[in-house]
Chain A
């Protein structure tokens, strides 16, 4: 998988030896060809300029292929970033026995009372166990539509919590300035008689979902603290917004567990997330919880859980790579066509070069360089086009398998690996597309070329 950050870091080169090795190899090949080649590079450049229409069309094709691949990889990278940033070292997630996701996990309130007393769970300064007890629900929210339009609904992920302070400590999340966690009651009395139930449900929302909820409002902007949205026959008032961490929690609404249980009819816990006393004790704690005699539990480190959620990202990554390869193969045929035409137009040039004393190898290098220069220019331009999507947001799903998925709002991440991948693709296209025509040029006999 790729590194999901857009910060340039030379140290990451060691993590992707195959990718950077190939890129360095291809660049080294160009440098070597430049050093070994005797035919002046200016000859090739001039020819590219003379045939500017053909050259331009090929460069555009390279830009399209590389730019598109960069964009698609940036999307997949964004998905990876979400899952990579969500798991906290030292945390252990606990589901009901056999379940590997919150969606399938049901822990009765009464049967897990001893889970948080398990030895190995960290304690905060107030002596409270760092165990976040959570219920996870996918809510239906009616989307306002115009007259005559079909009614629509959207899914909103809601997490009910017993104690938001404990949860925020366990998940290492903070609120944006100006926000508060919801109260112990989880509701706020309303002064207006129009508010259903006479009270607002207090909610803390992620950055991503604040944007999504705001898109269905008339102003089409992210909701802010103090604003409300309608869901499950109640008005929910935003009391705080999670400071953006690029995690899956960015796409969730948090509220008091009892309110969530009552509004959505789910009076159980979906999961426990507990903090081990030491980071390196998390796996041991997971094992202890799995061996619980009281109730059958599934436990794993939170990092492992989020790695499992990368299954969708992996499938999309393979799909993107497959599309990139197919497009590249199509592009290679285009490059070959161009280069074969360039050679057939310059048969006499080849003859003259040979008469002037240039060896067959020099001819090969000259034409191969021409193709690779075209690819390099197109590849670099394609990477620049692809970079435009860095930071864009999109909706997607991350999951570990059927039914085990989270709806997320992600940011495109154009990392240095994505750009390196784009350049490798372009240079491989240039190399393969240019090699056969260059070999043909090399094998031409002087007499034939001048006939």
Chain B
């Protein structure tokens, strides 16, 4: 085995140009596949419900942009539990969306701010991935949340949003409400989300109580109710231990007499995300079943071409190996080994490079899909690279290797003059 491995490496070094070209082709195509798979993997994760840490969304039954009245809030936080046998959620977070512009005369991305109004202290446990932060970043986030508790108009802004708006931490801004038209609010940027919370680069959060306070002040000042303030809540997010609790809780809420106007719907977090991504379903299908296979087949063809050329050129050498006692299986192993070594090594290098290049240098793949604005390459991509390189090389070289196995010594030497 050791000898065969040495022979494989020796053979690869013999035609360096071909080896390098095949490896480069593999690397480039593995880069494309890992990038595509990273997007799909992220979306799959978002649309799958976790077995533990089950999130539930309660929202308007009929209107996707509909809002719920404040009177629903307290009971929803308890999961509409009334009796001692009812399921009570482990955690909750109330969501409202306050969007507006810094300059009402100029609609531009730089002026537009979209804030999630919520209970800031719930962010570390209820916002995805924030519980995965390192110690230093967790401490920083908690400090920022503490500031928001003391200062109701404080906001935590994503670092990309901060850069886009050309603002600084500590800066004050006035937002002219669009989602709550007529409700203009002043904010102070208390901090940014830690950079390691990559998904939150363009996300900003505010105190939901500050929003409610603004609505109340508007109503009192104008002696009339702010139309959009009557029902300001976008949805309530609850957390339960498992699917069984979710199903019981969902029945509890949907059947509750407390929520009739408007009626509410209760669905798992993964299901809600799936619905929002439904209009992208065909694009994801194309990426999964057309783009990825096409790149993989192209990769296999590039490798198959290189290996079959190599086998054709080495008929005499293969015949000599057989004369020296190499069995057909060993010859086949030799050829497959060459292809798979190139494929796996270059696949691994490519995946490593892709992780570094995309995550560190480019700052994520900038494709805005729904509310996800960029995608990062997961560490598991190293395994993908290894696997893609290995499997495509195996598939691409199996026929040339089979033909090498069948080289007949007599035929080859009959042609040698």
Listed in ascending order, the chain A residues whose CB lies under 8 Å from chain B are: 53-54, 57-58, 60-61, 64-65, 67-68, 71-72, 75, 96-100, 103-106, 108, 137-140, 150-155, 231-233, 263-266, 268, 296, 298, 312, 315-316, 319, 323, 326-327, 329-331, 333-334, 336-338, 340-341, 344-345, 394-397, 401-403, 405, 407-408
Contacts and interface: CB of A to CB of B under 8 A. Distances in A.
A334 B302 contact: yes
Give the 7 A-B residue pairs with the shortest CB-CB distance, closest first. Answer: A333-B25, A334-B302, A394-B282, A341-B309, A330-B29, A232-B62, A138-B64
A165 to B, nearest CB: 27
Interface string B185-223: 000000000000000001000000000000000000000
B283 interface: yes
A192 to B, nearest CB: 22
A58 to B, nearest CB: 7
B7 interface: no
A344 B265 CA distance: 69
Contacts of A329: 28
Query: Chain B interface secondary structure, helix, strand, loop or mixed?
Result: helix
Contact of A98 (B63, B65, B101, B367): B101
Interface stretch (B15-23, B165-173, B381-389): B15-23
B302 A233 contact: no
A338 B309 contact: yes
B298 A103 contact: no
B279 A401 contact: no
A330 B32 contact: yes
Contacts of A319: 367
A217 B152 CA distance: 50
A138 B99 contact: no
A98 B104 contact: yes
Interface in B341-373: 366-368, 371, 373
B62 A140 contact: yes
Contacts of B283: 75, 316, 394, 396
A330 B298 contact: yes
Contacts of B36: 323
Given A64-B297, A330-B25, A341-B18, A155 B368 contact: no
B107 A65 contact: no
Interface of B: 17-18, 21-22, 24-26, 28-29, 31-32, 36, 60-66, 99-101, 104, 107, 109, 112, 114, 176, 178-179, 181, 202, 227-228, 231, 262-263, 265, 267-268, 271, 274-276, 278-283, 286, 290-291, 294-295, 297-299, 301-302, 304-306, 308-309, 312-313, 366-368, 371, 373
A326 B28 contact: yes
Given A138-B63, A139-B62, A140-B63, A61 B302 contact: yes
B178 A104 contact: yes
Contacts of A312: 368
Contact of A337 (B60, B286, B305): B305
Nearest to A402: B114
A330 B231 CA distance: 54
18 contacts: A58-B305, A60-B297, A72-B286, A98-B101, A105-B178, A139-B62, A152-B274, A154-B275, A266-B63, A326-B32, A330-B26, A330-B29, A333-B25, A334-B25, A334-B298, A334-B302, A337-B22, A397-B280
Contact of B308 (A53, A333, A396, A397): A53
Contacts of A97: 104, 176
A140 B282 contact: no
A54 B217 CA distance: 76
Contact of B279 (A53, A68, A397): A397
B107 A98 contact: yes
Contacts of A60: 297, 301
A108 B227 contact: yes
B265 A140 contact: yes
Contacts of B28: 326, 329-330, 333
B275 to A, nearest CB: 5
Contacts of B178: 96, 98-99, 104-105
B227 to A, nearest CB: 6
Contacts of A334: 21, 25, 298, 301-302, 305-306
A138 B65 contact: yes
Contact of B298 (A54, A65, A152): A65
Nearest to A406: B279
A140 B61 contact: yes
Of the candidates B17, B18, B265, B274, the one having the most CB atoms from chain A within 10 angstroms of its own CB is B17
A54 B308 contact: yes
A179 B31 CA distance: 52
Given A96-B181, A98-B176, A401 B112 contact: yes
B158 to A, nearest CB: 12
A369 B24 CA distance: 24
A323 B64 contact: no
B65 A298 contact: no
